[in-house]
Amino acid sequence: MNTLNKINQVKSRIRRRDYIITSLSLLISLFFIFYLLAVSKSLIIASLSSLFILFIIFASISSTIGRIRDIEKSPWPVVILYIPFIGLILGLILLFKNGTIGPNKYGEDPKRNSKK
């Protein structure tokens, strides 16, 4: 199952590599959208950009929940990411901590499933 499908399924686990790739691609997309908003004065582009920004927010939250589930924690700490400085600590934990080896209560090990 590819990373984009995992984002749509909030109940799955996401391994560290997929989380980093997803986060970077969403960040690049967000910069591109902000560039379009700054350059363009069109109302249509502004409307479409706001829809894309909502998608980016949903995809970011979904991938973060999947990553938190990979380290076998409750997904509620996703709220902490929006608190300055404390969210940075949680973000670094999500980047560097290994996921649970083998299945956990949130699903199968995504690293083991990708090797098959």
Q: What is the pLDDT of residues 92-116, one digit of tens each?
A: 888 888 887 887 877 777 777 665 5
User: What are the C-alpha distances in Å from 41 to residues 4, 35, 49, 56, 92?
Assistant: 31, 11, 12, 22, 37
Q: Residue 104: helix, strand or coil by DSSP?
A: strand
**pLDDT per residue as tens digits for the range 3-21:** 555 555 566 788 888 889 9
Which residue's entry shows tokens 């950009």? 49
Q: What is the largest CA-CA distance in the chain?
A: 51
Between these two residues, 26 and 108, which has the higher pLDDT value?
26
Where residue 29 falls among pLDDT bands split at 50, 70, 90? very high
| Whether the Cβ atoms of residue 67 and residue 19 lie closer than 8 Å to each other | yes
